[in-house]
Every structure is written in structure tokens, then in C-alpha cells.
């Protein structure tokens, strides 16, 4: 079963994308919900608020424990920020699981949101990506693979069983990144 962190953000869109590739999805709001999952997706949202909600729910400790025990995880937009070891100009809550540095809102505020096709390593053909107040990865460790860029800005990375994307494929009809994550 694929878990979708459901404390904030468009978790329903991720659930629908998972179901579109023939897998069962479960909404994760508590550590006991997390125990039912073989993988976890953390959707977009507001990362400072989610840090508070994760602590209140007890997921601030449960998620890193499961990831360190081998559970694959995918962070989209805000989720990628929370996975990062470093966040530029911020001391906010993060899991610090991926050896990346991110910059929040790197493309600008909400009015600068955009959609763009991009090449994603491991997928055939261009991927349609939706960027909403999106972060970018500004530094990667040697164990991190860059999967996609917009111009020279890194917008998708993989480290072992962890995936981070700055964009929202769950808002498109293309489930290939969801399928990619399930096959990781």
C-alpha cells in the first residue's frame, strides 16, 4: 500500500494518481497509518506549517524511523523541502534525510507559477510539470542523482530510496513519476 501524507496539501490528487496506476493508496495522518504503508509520498503545501502538524501527529519521529529502516519516500515541492539536509536561509523543521540543499520559492511567488515540459531521467519522452511556488535544489551530495532540470536549475533528485521533485505531476494526467516511484 502506498501512503500519502494527508495533513495538508493536495493529497487527494496523489491518491488518485496512485490509483490510476493500479495501486492502493492510504491517507497517512498518524504513526499507525504509516505502519500500513510500504512507501510514502509527501505532497506540496506550506512547509513551516507542516512541521508543526508533523510534531503534533507524532510523525516527525515516525517518518525518519521508517525511511532509515528502508521505506521509500517521495517528497513533492514542500515534501522535497522537508527531505533536504539544508534549506537556504531557514532553520525551519526538516527531516534532513536527503543530502541536498534547497531554496524555497526559487521561481518566485504564487503569481510566477508555471507549467513546463522537461526531460526526466528514467522516463521516455517529455514530462509535463506544474511549478507552484517551487523550490530548487542548489547543492547535491555525491550519492544524489539529478533527474531533471529547468534551465540550469535542479528540480528532481534521487538518493537511494528517496525521490524529490520540485513540481506537481499529480496535477496532470501523466502518472509516470508515480509509477517510477512505485518501481524504485
Instruction: Catalytic residue, from 91, 115, 119, 170: name it.
Output: 170
178 is catalytic: no
95: cell is: 527531516
CB atoms within 10 A of CB 85: 15
Catalytic residue among 19, 46, 119, 168: 168
The single residue of 14, 46, 65, 77 carrying the catalytic annotation is 77
Whether 91 is a known active-site residue: answer no
Exposed/middle/buried for 2, CB within 10 Å: 0-12, 13-18, 19+? buried
Catalytic, 119? Answer no
Q: Which phi and psi (to 5°) does residue 13 adopt?
A: -65, -40
C-alpha to C-alpha distance for 7 and 91, rounded to whole angstroms: 21
Catalytic residues, which ones?
Answer: 77, 168, 170
Amino acid at each position: 500500500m502506498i501512503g500519502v501524507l494527508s495533513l495538508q496539501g493536495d493529497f487527494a490528487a496523489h491518491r488518485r494518481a496512485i490509483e490510476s496506476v493500479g495501486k492502493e493508496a492510504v491517507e497517512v495522518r498518524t504513526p499507525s497509518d504509516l505502519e500500513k504503508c510500504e512507501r510514502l509520498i509527501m505532497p506540496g503545501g506550506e512547509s513551516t506549517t507542516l512541521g508543526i502538524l508533523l510534531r503534533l501527529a507524532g510523525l516527525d519521529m515516525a517518518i525518519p524511523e521508517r525511511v532509515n529502516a528502508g521505506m521509500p519516500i517521495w517528497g513533492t515541492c514542500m515534501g522535497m523541502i522537508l527531505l533536504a539536509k539544508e534549506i537556504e536561509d531557514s532553520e525551519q523543521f526538516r527531516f534532513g534525510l536527503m543530502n541536498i540543499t534547497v531554496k524555497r520559492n526559487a521561481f518566485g511567488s504564487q503569481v510566477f507559477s508555471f507549467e513546463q515540459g522537461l526531460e526526466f531521467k528514467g522516463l521516455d519522452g517529455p514530462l509535463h510539470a506544474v511549478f507552484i511556488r517551487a523550490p530548487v535544489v542548489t547543492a547535491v551530495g555525491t550519492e544524489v542523482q539529478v533527474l531533471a532540470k529547468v534551465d540550469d536549475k535542479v528540480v528532481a533528485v534521487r538518493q537511494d530510496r528517496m525521490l524529490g521533485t520540485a513540481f506537481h505531476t499529480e496535477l496532470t494526467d501523466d502518472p509516470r513519476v508515480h509509477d517510477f516511484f512505485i518501481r524504485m
